[in-house]
Structure 1
Amino acid sequence: MLVEFRVSNFRSVRDEQALSLVGATADKELAQTHLLATGLRALPSVVRSAVVYGPNASGKSTILMALNYMRAVVAESASHVKPGETYNVQPFKLDAAFTLAPTTFELTFLLDGIRHEYSFAMTQRRIVTESLAVYRTSKPSVWFSRRLREDGESYDYEFSSYLTGSRKLWQESTRANALFLSTAAQLNSELLLPVFRWIVDRIVYLPAHSAVDSDFTTALLATEEGRKTVCSFLSSADISIADIKVVPRKGIRAQVLVPPPGGLAQVNQAEREFLVPVFEHRTSRGKATLEFEEESEGTRRLFGLAAPVLEVLRDGRVLVVDELDSSLHTLMVRRLIGMFHDPALNRSGAQLIFTTHDTSLLDHTLFRRDQIWFAEKDEDQATCLYPLTDFSPRKHEAWEKGYLSGRYGAVPFFRDMTKSTSAPS
C-alpha cells in the first residue's frame, strides 16, 4: 500500500509538497468500500484512490510525474545509468536559490504490513543523500543512510544491525550517480531487494494523452480466461461489443542495424506475424466485425486501459494516471474508479491516483473528503498541493459548486480582455 509521497525542487514544485493517502479515521463515510485497513495503530487505514484537481499549468501533472521519476531512478540508476552520466532532473528555475539545490523524493509504503520510508536527494550529477527507515516497532530503524561529505566527492554511510549482508561490498560498488538501494538489490541483497521491487514494480504510471499500448490487452486475449475478462471489462462499460477475437496478421517490421565506426546505418525490413484484435458487434438486425482502427478513440483507449487496470487490481499495485478522463465518458470514468472501490473486484488492495478536470466527479457517492486534492501555483509560480479537508467542508457540502465558485482555490483566473486591450482605431 502506498501511504505518502513527498517531493521538492522538481520542475514547478519548489517547496516540499506531500500527497497523503492516509484515511481520516474520524470520517466513517464510505469506510467499508473506500478505505484499506493497514493493521497499524499509528495509521489504521489508507484510501483506495485519490484525485487531484487544478487548472492547466498548475503542476498537478508534475506531482504524478515526480512519483514516476523517483520510480525510474530507483529502477535504472544501478543498471542503466553509466559512470559519469548525468540525469535530466529539472529543479525549480524561477528562484536562484533552488537552481543548484538538490531535488528530493520520499516514499512511504507498506511492505508485508511493515511501514517503510525511503528517500533520496539528487542533482543532475550525483546522489546527495539517501536513507531507508523501517518501522518493525513503533520506532523506526534506519537500515542505512548515506550523505555526501563537504568535499563533494565521498560519502558517509551508517548502517543498522538489522541490515545484514555484504554491506561493504554494496557500499564500494555504489557509484556517485547510483542509488545504494538499487546497487544492493542488483547484488542480491535479501532484505533490500523486496524494497527495490516494491518501488519499481508496484507503481504503474500512465502519462496524459499517452497512447496506451494495446498489445498488452491483446496478449490477454490469447487465453480463454483472459478473453472473458477483457470482454466483461468492456461490456461493463456498456460498449456494444459482443465478442473479441485475435487473428494473426502479417506486416513489415523495420530493423536498424548498428554500423561499425565510420560505417553507414542499414535498415532491414522483414515480414513478421503478429496478433491483432477484431471486435464483433451484434444487433437485432445482424452482426459485423470491426478492426481496431475502426473503433472509436474512446473504445481504443478503454481497450488499451483494460490490461493495466485488470493487472493492477489483480496484483494490488498503484495505478497513477494523468488525465484519466481523456477520451472517456464521465460514466466510464466513474465505473473505473468504482472498480477500485469495490472490495469484490479489488481484493488485493490496489490503489488509483489520477488527475482530472471533470468536476462532476466531485460527488459524495464517489469520494470521501480525504480523497480529494487540489493543485495551484502561488505568486512565485510554485506549485502548492493541498487536500479538501483543509477547508473542513460540511458533511453534505456541494463540492462541485464550491470548487467552481473558487471556495477551494485551484481554478483558472481569467482577466477581462476588454480592459487589458484597447479597441482598434
Structure 2
Amino acid sequence: MLIRFNVKNFLSFSKNESGQSEEFSMLAGKVRNKKEHVYDNNKIKLLKFAAVYGANAAGKSNLVKALNFMKYTILKKLPKGHTEMYCKIDKENKEKESYFELEIMIGKKYYAYGFEVILSQSRFVSEWLVELTSDNNEKIIFTRDIVNGKYEFGTILKEKGLIDKLNVYAEDIEDDGSILLLSAMNENKKNLYKQYSNAKILREVYIWIAKDLDINFPNRPISNYSYMENKEKMDEVCQIIKAFGTGITGAQMVDVAPEKVLADMPRQVSNKILHDIENKMSAMNNNKNLKEVGFIMRSEKDFFVLNIDRNGEVKCQTLNFTHGKENVLFSMSEESDGTIRMLDLLEILIAGENKTYVIDELDRCLHPSLTYKFVETYLQIAAQKNIQLIVTTHESRLLDFDLLRRDEIWFINKRTTGESDIYSLEEYNTRFDQKIDKAYLDGRYGGVPIFSTVFPVKGED
C-alpha cells in the first residue's frame, strides 16, 4: 500500500515553501469517524481513498504524471521528452536535480525508494532504498551517490556470497548515470533471488511498483476486462452494473468469427496479433501441460478473447449485453461512454488485496450521482479488504462529510508564479457541519479557477 509520494522539480511542481519536495500522503490524520476507511495494524494507519481537487491546469494531472514518470523510469527507462519535464517556472531548475520518492508498505514492513535525476542531462545523481522502522529509524538496503561513484549496501544484503555478486553488479553500472540499480537488479536475476533470500526485497519493491501501483489516464482504458474471463465473476459483475442504473440487465460472452475481427483492425495491429498467436502456439508446443492458450484484446469500445487449442483452432468471443426484459443482445460499441467507463471501473470493485489504483479524472463521462455512487460502493467494499484508490476529480458532490473524511480530501492549487502546491483539507479547521462543497466552490480552500474578463462587453450605442 502507498504511504507517501514526494516530488520536486517536475512539470508544475518546483518545491514547497520550505524549499523541500511537494508531498502527497495516504497517512490517516486525526479524524476519528469512519474508521472503516482506514487500514490500521496498530503501527500505521493508512487511508484507502483520496480525492484530489483543483482547477484546470492547477496540477492534478501532473501529480499522476509524476507517479507514472517514476514507475515508467524504473520499469523501462527515462521516457521520451524527459529532458523538458523539469519545472520551467524557475530557469535555474534546468540544471537542478528532480526528486522522486515512494514510501510503501509491503507485507508488514515499510520502505522508501527514490532517486534524483537531472532531467535536462538525462543523468541520475542518486538512488536509495531504505527500510523504515517503527521507531522512526532507517535501515539502509542500498544507497548510491552516482556523481561521486560511491555506493553502499546495508547489513541485510551483506550475506556471504551475495555481497560479492552485488558489488559486481553495482560496479558494472556505476559509471553509467542512465541506469538505476533497482532496474538492473530485476533484469535476468531470478536465479539470484532463488539462491539468496535476503536479496528478495529488491524484487519485491520492483514488483509492487510494476503490478500493485496501477496508474490510469483519461484517454486510456482502465481495464482490459480480464475479470470477464472468470465465468464465476459474471453474475457478480452483472449485479454491480445493474445497481449503477446503466439499464444493463445481463451480460454474456458470444462467439465471433476471428477472421472478421482481424479484418476490421488496422493491418499493423492484426499483424502483431498474428505474431502473438504464433508465439503462443510455440509456447504451448513446448509445454505439454498446456491444453490451450489465450489472450485478451481491448480497444476503447471493443473487447475480444482469443483462445487457441493444440490443433491450432482459434476461438474468438466478445462481450454482449441485454437491456430490459427482451433477450436482445447489444455489443459493447453500442453502449454509452458512461456505461463503458463503469465497466472499466468495475475492476477496482472486484480486485484483490493490496493494489493501489490511481485514476486521473474519475468523473469523466459519468453523471455526478453515478460518481458519488461508485465512490460510496468502493468505500463499502474497501472496508473489507486492503486496497487503495486515489482519484483526481472536479465532482464537488464528493465533498460530503457523510461520504468522506477530512483527510481523504486533497487540493492542488497553482500559485501566482505558476507553481503547484499540494495540501490536505486536514490542514484546515473545518466543522463537520460545514457545507464543504459550497466552501470549496467559493474558493475557501483554493484549487478553483479565478476568472478574468474574457472580452469586453460593449453597451449599445
TM-score range, shorter chain: 0.7 to 0.9
| Paired AA for residue 404 in structure 1 | L
Show CA shifts across 1:304-323 (max 9, x none): 33235422xx1320110011
When residues 222 and 133 of structure 1 are mapped into structure 2, their CA distance, relative to the original with a 3 A threshold, is closer
Contact 2:109-2:131 at 8 Å conserved across structures: yes
Q: Which residue of 1 aligns with 2:412?
A: 375
**TM-score of the superposition, structure 2-length normalised?**
0.79
Matches of 2:124 and 2:460, distance apart in 1: 57
Kept in 2, the 8 Å contact 1:209–1:323? The answer is no
Match of 2:101 among 106, 121, 125: 106
Per-residue deviation, residues 260-315 of structure 1 (Å, max 9, x unmatched)? xxxxxxx99x99863221101223xx34221111111111121133235422xx13
Q: Which amino acid aligns with 2:144?
A: R
Q: Distance in 1 between matches of 2:366 and 2:354?
A: 24
Q: Is the 8 A contact 2:401 2:432 kept in 1?
A: no
- The offset of 1:332, in angstroms, is 2.2
Any idea what the Cα deviations from partners look like across 1:198-248, whole Å, max 9, x if unmatched?
Answer: 1221111111243445xx22x433332121232122122132222111122
Deviation by residue 1:120-168 (Cα, 9 ceiling, x = unmatched): 111331211111110245221121111133xxxx521122112242221
Q: Which runs of 5+ in 2 are unaligned?
A: 16-20, 191-198, 278-305, 307-313
Write the distance in 2 (CA, Å) between the matches of 1:352 and 1:86.
28
Alignment of 1:88-103 (within 5 A): 90-103=85-98
Aligned to 1:203: 213
* 1:223-302 alignment runs, 5 A limit: 223-250=230-257, 251=261, 252=263, 253-256=265-268, 274-283=316-325, 286-302=326-342
Distance 1:136 1:143 in 2: 13
Residue deviations 1:26-75 (CA, integer Å, cap 9, x gap): 321111x21111331xxx31111011111100001101111111111111
Tell me if 1:177 matches 2:215: no
Amino acid at match of 2:393: T
Among 415, 419, 422, the alignment partner of 2:452 is 415
Alpha-carbon offset, residue 330 of structure 1: 2.2
Q: Which residue in the other structure is 1:17 paired with?
A: 22
Q: Please report the TM-score for the alignment, with normalisation by the length of structure 1.
A: 0.85
Are the counterparts in 1 of residues 254 and 317 from structure 2 also a CA contact under 8 Å? yes
Distance, in Å, in 1 between the alignment partners of 2:115 and 2:332 is: 43
C-alpha displacement of 1:7: 0.4
- Native 8 Å contact 1:54 1:357 kept in 2: yes
Q: Which runs of 5+ in 1 are unaligned?
A: 258-266
1:364 partner SS: coil
1:194 partnered with 2:181: no
Counterparts of 1:367 and 1:301, CA distance in 2? 22
Query: 1:240·1:281 contact (CA, 8 Å) conserved in 2?
Result: yes
Distance in 2 of aligned mates of 1:292 and 1:53:
31
Give the distance between the partners of 1:303 and 1:89, measured in 2 at CA: 36
What is the 5 A alignment of 1:325-336?
325-336=363-374
Whether 1:315 and 2:315 are equivalent positions in the alignment is: no
Mapped contact 1:324–1:356 kept (Cα < 8 A):
yes
Letter in 1 for 2:401: H
Residues 146, 177 of structure 2: 8 Å contact kept: no
Alignment-mate amino acid for residue 97 of structure 2: P
Change (3 A) 1:205 1:279: same
**Greater helix content:** 2
Question: Contact 1:38 / 1:46 at 8 angstroms: preserved in 2?
Answer: no
Q: Is this contact kept in 1: 2:58–2:420, CA < 8 A?
A: yes
Residue identity opposite 2:234 in structure 1: R
Q: Which residue, 134, 147, 156 being the options, matches 2:150? A: 156
CA distance in 1 between counterparts of 2:346 and 2:383 reads 14
Map 1:399-414 onto structure 2 (within 5 A). 399-414=436-451
- With over 3 angstroms needed to count, the CA separation of the structure-2 counterparts of 1:381 and 1:422, relative to structure 1, is farther
- Which residue of 1 is the match for residue 112 of structure 2? 117
Counterpart pick for 2:343 among 296, 303, 315: 303
Q: 1:29 aligns with which of 26, 33, 38?
A: 33
The aligned length equals 392
Query: Percent of counterpart pairs with the same letter?
Result: 25
Change (3 A) 1:233 1:169: farther
Q: Distance in 1 between matches of 2:126 and 2:232?
A: 47
Query: Which residue identity is paired with 1:324?
Result: L
- For residues 178 and 18 of structure 1, the distance between their equivalents in structure 2, rounded to whole angstroms, comes to 25
Matched, 1:145 2:143: yes
Partner residue of 2:293?
Answer: none
CA contact (8 A) 1:12 1:383 kept: yes
SS at match of 2:407: helix
Query: 1:144 touches 1:157 (CA, 8 Å); kept in 2?
Result: yes
DSSP-derived class of the 1:242 partner = strand
